[in-house]
Amino acid sequence: MPNVKAWLSAARLRTLPLSISGIIAASGVAASQGYFDSTIFILALLTTIGFQVLSNFANDYGDGVKGTDNEERIGPVRALQSGAISAVQMRTAMVVTVLLTLLSALVLIYVSFGTNYLLFSLLFIVLGIASIIAAIKYTVGDTAYGYNGLGDVFVFLFFGLLSVLGTYFLYAKVFFWELVLLASAVGLLSVAVLNLNNMRDMEGDKRAGKNTLVVKMGAARAKKYHYALILVAFLCLSIFLYLVGNGWKSFLVLLAFVPLIFHLKRVGANRILSKLDGELKVVALSTFFITLLLSVIFNIFS
């Protein structure tokens, strides 16, 4: 049985702050409006972490069996690639993670809706199953969408729209359209992390037949696309703060964008894509701190 270190590496814990950013953003807004529930918050975090770990296991497995992860790969060495975990062991871990995550999701849905909102419960069960399928199908199977340039769309949908809008609805049982702006900002920043990852791996992905959006558009256009993702995220969040926030103090959230200004300068000056690896952490942690700062400011100045 592989050691704990190998499994922790395969789980890629450094991806968790980004994955829970939407939960934090939605929970902060809900709390400022009097809807917060600590049990829902904890279960939403656990469920989201389960989806992310499942995705990481599936990516390790899918890229490993396809041969995409090889000696040319940039970034942390994957578990299957190194031989630390076998394909059979990883499949077993995926099944266990699916079962635990599904259990957490079902408990979350019951705690939120009870027996009074049957249609909402059924809808969220379907969304939970869709999230599990999406987590697995990014790299696994002949129709893996990550190999056909659709990763960006799914990240925006699941890390942005579903994460923020779904979490808020679990609390409030209602919806307001301005929240789409916040969800879009989180989704676009999450896509920016994926875009950086795909820029870093462009040459290896191209040789392995992994046709990410970056492979399809090329490095120069991928950089312009990256600038647009972060700029539009900034605009979406700014409009959200103007419409929903409580005066000028709400705009203090935008201070968390400062590291991204320097990040964009480094991306623009970059000439060796493999050296973009360190920039993934900058965008991921900036996204996390943007949502954390939003939650704090909304509840201090609400």
pLDDT tens profile 221-240: 999 999 999 999 999 999 99
Give me the DSSP letters along the chain.
---HHHHHHHHTGGGHHHHTHHHHHHHHHHHHTT---HHHHHHHHHHHHHHHHHHHHHHHHHHHHHT-SSTT--SSPPHHHHTSS-HHHHHHHHHHHHHHHHHHHHHHHHHHHTTT-HHHHHHHHHHHHHHHHHHHHTTSSTT-GGGTT-HHHHHIIIIIIIIIIIHHHHHHS---TTHHHHHHHHHHHHHHHHHHHHHHTHHHHHHHT---HHHHH-HHHHHHHHHHHHHHHHHHHHHHHHHHS-SGGGGGGGGGGHHHHHHHHHHHH---GGGGHHHHHHHHHHHHHHHHHHHHHHHH--
* pLDDT on residue 274: 83
Instruction: State the helix-helix crossing angle for 21-32 and 277-300, rounded to 10 degrees.
Output: 10
Query: pLDDT tens, 180-214?
Result: 999 999 999 999 999 999 999 888 888 878 888 99
* Model confidence band, residue 170 (pLDDT cutoffs 50, 70, 90): very high
How big is the CA angle at 32 (ends 30 and 37), to the nearest 5 degrees?
45
pLDDT given for residue 159 in this prediction: 92
**pTM of the predicted model over 0.95:** no
Average pLDDT, the chain: 89
Tell me the per-residue pLDDT of 108-162, one tens digit each, with 9 for 90 and over. 999 999 988 999 999 999 999 999 999 888 877 667 787 888 889 989 999 999 9
- d(CA 43, CA 37) in angstroms, rounded, equals 10
